[in-house]
Structure 1
Amino acid sequence: MASTTTAEVPAAESSETELTIGGMTCASCAARVEKKLNRMEGVTATVNYATEKAHVSFGEGTEVADLVAVVEKTGYTARPVPRPAPAPPPSAAPGPTAGGTAPAGAPATDGEEASAAEGAATDTLAALRQRLLVSAVLSLPVVLLAMVPALQFDNWQWLSLTLAAPVVVWGGLPFHRATWTNLRHGAATMDTLVSIGTLAAFGWSLWALFLGDAGMPGMRHGFDLTASRADASSTIYLEVASGVITFILLGRYLEARSKRKAGSALRALMHLGAKDVAVLRDGTEVRVPVGRLAVGDRFVVRPGEKIATDGTVVEGVSAVDAALLTGESVPVDVSAGDEVTGATVNVSGRLVVEATRVGADTQLARMAKLVEDAQNGKAAVQRLADRISAVFVPVVLLIALGTLVTWLLLTDDATAAFTAAVAVLIIACPCALGLATPTALMVGTGRGAQLGILIKGPEVLETTRRVDTIVLDKTGTVTTGRMTLLNVHTTDGTTETDVLRIAGALEHSSEHPIAQAVATGAAAKVGTLPTPEDFTNVPGLGVRGTVDGHRALVGRPKLLTEAGITLPPPLAAAMTEAAERGRTAVAVAWDGEARAVLEVADAIKDTSAEAVAELRALGLRPVLLTGDNRAVADSVARATGIDEVYAEVLPQEKVDVIRRLRAEGRTVAMVGDGVNDAAALATADLGLAMGTGTDAAIEASDLTLVRGDLKVAADAIRLSRSTLATIRGNLFWAFGYNVAALPLAAFGLLNPMIAGAAMAFSSVFVVTNSLRLRSFT
């Protein structure tokens, strides 16, 4: 076994690291590595069989080299997963190299690491396929000769031996090698059961052929689905030895291929980013690898290209397609001042973007890290399965020995006793137990990432099942979070176009949020706005000025009253109605006459009402939580179908509301997006943060919804519940299979070869069941 020297391993810089573990063949291997690491002082480790990684926390005095050494002493290989290199400062950003490649010694990017790992996995899969195909070709005649007596000719048993021997020795070499390694370390795994069972069957056959009557010319051999009761000296088990190894190799191959599919979403996420970028250096475009990009660099993105990293548009107008990253199908318009995310695609115009985050700080890298952390974690149900797997193999060895002794004592039939004992060894592999949770987690979290749903850890899944109340922050969650022009009420003889043109022109010169809402809404409907003359801002009341020769006023009714202008009854009624609906009303007058009332409010998102209905369908009781006034809150609640409302709540009081709901016996989920929601998100049983919100909210949450759409919250809960249901279904199958099959084998009701096939396909079933989550919509 290759060892890793201390010099090859970087010294620990922090209290956490990740190791890639090689040589694990089943869940009990993972349990053993985890147990050995956790015995080290100050070390807490979680080993995941499906992802083949260990996440380790350690204290002072321990280095990564020490962790690697312990894993190697346990009989496996370990390699630290490299950390992303820190981003270079703008001044240190190097120029291009020939061919646009990174210089020698440059740290590998996440994508390069992923590619290397993928290449190694492909090589392993190819070697396993070759071993399987050779073993299958050699084993098929052996199995047919044993199962169909009509095919048996004189000395057929010697042909069977010739064909079976390479399968047992070479085909089963991975099992025998792992068994020997484990025995040297005083341990037993699934490989131990397979190796002992197949070597025992092969050894018995050699004894019967060379020292018994089985080698006699003309010998015929029947096949029984249960334990054989023939004469011991004339019974051979070559079909069991070769057939079991072939079946288990087939199971291993299908399992390995399915595990690769299960992790495909994360690999796709890692490969989303651009590979190189056109950076502006002294006004000239220079093509450099993305790894050289630094914060503050400005780079060009042409139509059809991927945006290299997170940044702010400084030049240009375009539409950006974020479907690969968020699942959102409609491109979003961007212009100077708008933020863009790395790995999204520039659809139309040329953009110049200033980098604000690079490397591990980008949204793509953080998404990939969140998904990987979730896949490396363990749900409570999996911890139970791990504990069972750790003691299962030694218990099975004892059961097999007990079966052999009991059969001999009760029947004095050595052949039946041996058959039953070998069947116990082969049927009992706990592999399906070890795969039940990790594969479902890999597929579920990976599919979530494709849909813009980031699940922080497996324990989140348990909570989604229990949640019965969902608290929705209003601003930015149910509503857009920005003031929008919603309605225009005009007097007879006044056109909406004239109102918007004059009011929009004046408000465009004001920086007030309500004024900007009016200006933006007006520009969207009438196009270019004229420039006002004699513009004056009247603090607390509104604005006045001259537009196209008309002396105009836009603002509160008091502004018009002070100018001697009275609102006619229809406009006064519109004002009153707007106030009752929690909206802000803006009066418009020109040439000494009131002309219109504009309604401005924080608009409800188009999908919010539908999202609330979906949350109700999931059995959740929606609650609206806002610091806004009661009229606004009630208006939003009515429009979206929410019955329970908490209004005029200060930021620090949001936590109290969550606690009050929990004190009533409810299990509470909270959806929010702002800094003022972070404490409430952390207090709730389940926190869901809008990815369009602040870092504080995202950090405090359990689920992050990359898209700012409340419907994704319902999708997130459905996906989490589906993933948990799949895990539970897998574990039920794995537990039930072992519990039911062991007694059948012990009572002599299973032929060892049939047991080998059943055991192999139990693992395949669990992985295939998990892969169904890939079709979640």
Structure 2
Amino acid sequence: METKSYPIEGMTCASCAATVEKTAQKLAGVTDASVNLASEKLNIKVEEGAFDPEELERQIDATGYKMVMPQYVTKTFDVEGMTCASCSSTVEKTAAKLNGMEKASVNLASEKMSVTYNPLVLSVRDISDAVSGSGYKAIPQEEEQVEMTGPDEAEKLSKEEMYKKRTILSAAFTIPLLIISMGPMVGLELPSVIDHMQNPGNHALLQLALTLPVVWTGKTYFEQGFKTLSKGHPNMNSLIALGTSAAFIYSLAATYAILFNNADLAMMLYYETSAVILAFHTLGKYLEERSKGRMSEAIQKLMDLAPKTARIIHDGQEEEVAIEEVSPGDVIRVRPGEKMPVDGIIVKGRTAVDESMLTGESMPIAKETGDPIIGASMNKNGSIDYRATKVGKDTTLSQIIKLVEEAQGSKAPIAKLADIITGYFVPIVMGLALVSGLVWLIAGQSFLFALTILISVLVIACPCALGLATPTAIMVGTGKGAEHGVLIKSGDALETIHNVDTIVFDKTGTLTEGKPVVTDIVVREQSSFEKATLLQMAASAEKGSEHPLGEAIVKQAEQDKLTFTDVSHFEAIPGQGLLAEVGTATLYFGNKKLMTEQGFSVAELESKANQLADEGKTPMYLAINDTVEGIIAVADTLKENSVETIEALHKQGIEIAMITGDNTRTANAVARQAGIDRVLSDVLPEDKANEVKKLQQEGKKVAMVGDGINDAPALAQADIGIAIGSGTDVAVESADVVLMRSDIKEVLTAIELSKDTLKNIKQNLFWAFAYNVVGIPIAMGGLYLLGGPLLNPAFAAAAMSFSSVSVLLNALRLKNFKPTLAETVSDK
């Protein structure tokens, strides 16, 4: 299964989005399709080999819209190592097979390869690596030719500028048109040459002359509106085109009649209605584009973080290269005040690094040899050399951008009702306009009255507001989350977080520091071993262990400067401990269960072990040659904000559970310190997901917070999986939310952001539905029936434009979001 994204041109409302979505879903090879009206993108999941993008392009074009194929880049590589036609064929096939590669051709004589590829999917480094994997070397040449076939930020800006110019031009002709047509009604005297009483012909012709430039400015609405109408998929532009055309054609006929001595029609022209509708619609589109630009600021800010070049150390010399040419293993030098080009590990020097734009961490972090570097972070005060580990699309920054883009393109379940309604909205509105006009005509009203009703109904209806209500809020919400170091992967997750009533925290590394220390060494009475000997033997067995408890024991032995003994045999016993041959001794080291299963008595030390466990420490028994000789206890301290965060979550009405492999006594001791409601202890790594499932079977909405590789199944099982960003890649992949900072207080930020975003979506949907539910009956003559005025189509057009803009402006209020709950924790 592969996910693809294509920009769609010509969509103006939710009805357009629904049409494109349905068209894509019908195509062979497409398993799922969704359209984001705010970002104007079609996102599809396809079966490899069964999907034809050109056929999709044709089908979408047939519905009246345009699918923009990806922006392709053409680049030339020098290829080293080719000696025959078989070599060039191998290189060509290797490159051609890459996902995102449009065309690849290799010239053996010139030893060059020319490729055309989608840079959103492939990077220069990907192509070089693939060729290297086939046994050759591809070196990118400096010049590159870009074929612009897709919208970028410049195009978005030009779209905004285009609507701005059209708005100004429309206003320049519409304002004098309004003065001429409406002025006499409010007592304004016009020059006799254009007065409707003295020269009705000139009066009509001048209005026609002023209307034509406005109609020409809005010609795309007619082209696209009538095209989609003829294809059977009417949209917002169809309503605008029908309404303004009806007013314009009627006025044109009336002008013809005026010129042939029917002067009574001079004050019954509707030219200003056509012009005002088009002008307001253009103004609305300009404000929409302006607002959409502000919504994508989060992505643009992230993209702007990355430097364009890197200074690599080659044969002891500094060499400045393009960021695309940096390879894993390259040593990069970064001076104070410069940005880190890619991810890596420091090999020389020390500094303080500002990671605030990526993680939200406000204070610079001290870094020295061996510490990780995140690409695009700012080097503050020291010169360092570091070895690149991740480049191109694998860097942390690229992954963040990808996550945010995918989230902004996703849909929330709350949008389903709006999607269903918009599929039928425009045809229903057209039917209502026609029926209401005919009913008023049959009821004895004039043709002009019925025409006013028909135009008003067509123009006031606004499927745009319905279509923009959810995606706009999701775009701003996910972008704001990224700004605060909370990466929410989908609209579904964003909506679900606030419904969580139980949060399960993994203990080690999530609630606690994950850096346990040895606290007690207990030797049984009558033992011939000393404390140092027990520590030395246990540390020898644990040497090389990746388990946090084992690392703590080894670290303590190193601090005590003990000598390690060779281990001839080692066997890990999952969930219990280990067996090792240390020197000439056979050693079992682990929990009570391990001792019991091996038939060893722990009676002499059990009360001490219980006492240590009650203090929140983890006691581990050490048996040497079939006799339990002592206990080594290790404790892992709670993170600084754990207690305050749990207290804040309790105030939100959320039950807190802790899951751990520790014994019940130790787990309960930690739970008492932290204020945990429910303890799930003695849980083996593979059983964590089952424990989450049990909670769900109780009817609870469960979030799981963890950072380790053995948390991944539980994160996937939970209704919401929240991964600590410093955890393993597997855990991050399984999660719905990623906290870039290793601080669990950001769980509060995720919940608060979810609540605020969902509240905003509900406000948008309420306004969009309420506007249409109230506005359309008024346009149909509802107020007139009750003795009120008849709605002027010009006011209907203004209301229609305002409804879309108001939804966008409301969504933009989310840009003011501040994580007040998390800030309360940090202030304590």
Shorter-chain TM-score bucket reads: 0.7 to 0.9
Please, what TM-score do these two structures have when normalized by structure 1?
A: 0.80
In the alignment, the residues of structure 1 paired with residue 744 and residue 268 of structure 2 have an alpha-carbon distance, to the nearest angstrom, of: 68
Aligned to 1:27: 14
| Matched-pair contact (CA < 8 Å) for 2:225–2:234 | yes
Query: CA offsets, 1:15-37, max 9 Å, x none?
Result: 43221112222222222122222
425-434 or 81-90: bigger deviation: 81-90
Relative to 1, partners in 2 of residues 1:600 and 1:113: Cα closer, same or farther, differing over 3 Å?
farther
In the alignment, the residues of structure 2 paired with residue 55 and residue 214 of structure 1 have an alpha-carbon distance, to the nearest angstrom, of: 57
- Give the 5 Å matches for 1:418-567: 418-484=451-517
Q: Find the residue that maps to 2:679 and give its secondary structure.
A: strand
Aligned to 2:54: 65
- Give the 5 Å matches for 1:211-360: 211-212=257-258, 234-360=267-393
Q: Find the residue that maps to 1:130 and give its secondary structure.
A: helix
Q: Which residue of 179, 183, 192 corresponds with 2:225?
A: 179
How much has 1:251 moved relative to structure 2?
A: 0.9
Query: CA offsets, 1:72-126, max 9 Å, x none?
Result: 23222222333132533497887797xxxx4325x89xxx999x60001111111
77-86 or 306-315: bigger deviation: 77-86
- Give the 5 Å matches for 1:704-743: 704-743=738-777
Q: Which runs of 5+ in 2 are unaligned?
A: 71-117, 197-202, 521-534, 568-577, 579-606, 621-631, 785-789, 819-828
One-letter code aligned to 1:176: F
| Matched-pair contact (CA < 8 Å) for 1:89–1:294 | no
Q: Find the residue that maps to 1:131 and give its secondary structure.
A: helix
1:649 has 2:683 as partner:
yes
Query: CA RMSD of the aligned region, Å?
Result: 3.5
166-175 or 24-33: bigger deviation: 166-175
- Give the 5 Å matches for 1:579-590: 580-583=614-617
Aligned to 1:661: 695
How much has 1:409 moved relative to structure 2?
A: 0.5
Aligned to 1:49: 37
Aligned to 1:208: 254
751-760 or 411-420: bigger deviation: 411-420
How much has 1:175 moved relative to structure 2?
A: 1.0
| Matched-pair contact (CA < 8 Å) for 1:96–1:287 | no
Q: Which residue of 145, 155, 165 corresponds with 1:120?
A: 155
Q: Find the residue that maps to 1:390 and give its secondary structure.
A: helix
Aligned to 1:16: 3
One-letter code aligned to 1:179: G
Relative to 1, partners in 2 of residues 1:576 and 1:55: Cα closer, same or farther, differing over 3 Å?
closer
How much has 1:520 moved relative to structure 2?
A: 8.5
Aligned to 2:432: 399
Q: Which runs of 5+ in 1 are unaligned?
A: 1-13, 218-230, 488-502, 524-528, 541-572, 587-597
Q: Find the residue that maps to 1:280 and give its secondary structure.
A: strand
Relative to 1, partners in 2 of residues 1:705 and 1:343: Cα closer, same or farther, differing over 3 Å?
same
Q: Find the residue that maps to 1:304 and give its secondary structure.
A: coil
Aligned to 1:635: 669
Aligned to 1:493: none
1:136 has 2:209 as partner:
no
Aligned to 2:449: 416
Q: Find the residue that maps to 1:236 and give its secondary structure.
A: coil
84-93 or 701-710: bigger deviation: 84-93
In the alignment, the residues of structure 2 paired with residue 452 and residue 302 of structure 1 have an alpha-carbon distance, to the nearest angstrom, of: 26
In the alignment, the residues of structure 2 paired with residue 233 and residue 407 of structure 1 have an alpha-carbon distance, to the nearest angstrom, of: 23
Q: Find the residue that maps to 1:482 and give its secondary structure.
A: coil
One-letter code aligned to 1:608: S
Relative to 1, partners in 2 of residues 1:169 and 1:679: Cα closer, same or farther, differing over 3 Å?
same
Query: CA offsets, 1:508-538, max 9 Å, x none?
Result: 9998977976999999xxxxx9x96x96779
- Give the 5 Å matches for 1:357-372: 357-372=390-405
Aligned to 1:767: 808
Please, what TM-score do these two structures have when normalized by structure 2?
A: 0.76
One-letter code aligned to 1:16: T
| Matched-pair contact (CA < 8 Å) for 2:214–2:279 | no
How much has 1:215 moved relative to structure 2?
A: 8.4
Relative to 1, partners in 2 of residues 1:462 and 1:215: Cα closer, same or farther, differing over 3 Å?
farther
| Matched-pair contact (CA < 8 Å) for 1:213–1:234 | no
1:621 has 2:621 as partner:
no
| Matched-pair contact (CA < 8 Å) for 2:502–2:657 | yes
Q: Which residue of 103, 117, 126 corresponds with 2:143?
A: 103
In the alignment, the residues of structure 2 paired with residue 346 and residue 93 of structure 1 have an alpha-carbon distance, to the nearest angstrom, of: 33
In the alignment, the residues of structure 2 paired with residue 349 and residue 291 of structure 1 have an alpha-carbon distance, to the nearest angstrom, of: 25
| Matched-pair contact (CA < 8 Å) for 1:20–1:53 | yes
Query: CA offsets, 1:307-336, max 9 Å, x none?
Result: 111222222222221100011111222222
One-letter code aligned to 1:405: L
Aligned to 1:161: 207
Q: Find the residue that maps to 2:758 and give its secondary structure.
A: helix
- Of structures 1 and 2, the one with the larger relative CO (CA 8 A, separation 6+) is 1
In the alignment, the residues of structure 1 paired with residue 710 and residue 550 of structure 2 have an alpha-carbon distance, to the nearest angstrom, of: 25
Relative to 1, partners in 2 of residues 1:236 and 1:484: Cα closer, same or farther, differing over 3 Å?
farther
Q: Which residue of 23, 29, 36 corresponds with 2:23?
A: 36
Q: Find the residue that maps to 1:204 and give its secondary structure.
A: helix
| Matched-pair contact (CA < 8 Å) for 2:208–2:271 | no
340-349 or 675-684: bigger deviation: 340-349
In the alignment, the residues of structure 1 paired with residue 426 and residue 759 of structure 2 have an alpha-carbon distance, to the nearest angstrom, of: 27
In the alignment, the residues of structure 2 paired with residue 666 and residue 26 of structure 1 have an alpha-carbon distance, to the nearest angstrom, of: 38
How much has 1:190 moved relative to structure 2?
A: 0.7
Relative to 1, partners in 2 of residues 1:95 and 1:209: Cα closer, same or farther, differing over 3 Å?
closer
How much has 1:45 moved relative to structure 2?
A: 2.0
Query: CA offsets, 1:551-584, max 9 Å, x none?
Result: xxxxxxxxxxxxxxxxxxxxxx999976532237
Aligned length: 679
| Matched-pair contact (CA < 8 Å) for 2:339–2:377 | yes
How much has 1:255 moved relative to structure 2?
A: 0.8
How much has 1:670 moved relative to structure 2?
A: 0.8
Percent same amino acid among aligned pairs?
39
Aligned to 1:681: 715
Relative to 1, partners in 2 of residues 1:763 and 1:652: Cα closer, same or farther, differing over 3 Å?
same
In the alignment, the residues of structure 1 paired with residue 610 and residue 691 of structure 2 have an alpha-carbon distance, to the nearest angstrom, of: 31
| Matched-pair contact (CA < 8 Å) for 1:17–1:55 | yes
One-letter code aligned to 1:19: Y
In the alignment, the residues of structure 2 paired with residue 514 and residue 649 of structure 1 have an alpha-carbon distance, to the nearest angstrom, of: 16
One-letter code aligned to 1:151: L
One-letter code aligned to 2:39: T
| Matched-pair contact (CA < 8 Å) for 2:23–2:60 | yes
Query: CA offsets, 1:4-52, max 9 Å, x none?
Result: xxxxxxxxxx743221112222222222122222221232322221111
Relative to 1, partners in 2 of residues 1:515 and 1:457: Cα closer, same or farther, differing over 3 Å?
closer
In the alignment, the residues of structure 2 paired with residue 585 and residue 651 of structure 1 have an alpha-carbon distance, to the nearest angstrom, of: 19
Query: CA offsets, 1:450-473, max 9 Å, x none?
Result: 111111111113322321111111
Query: CA offsets, 1:195-228, max 9 Å, x none?
Result: 11112222222333331499888xxxxxxxxxxx
1:150 has 2:190 as partner:
no
Q: Find the residue that maps to 1:47 and give its secondary structure.
A: strand
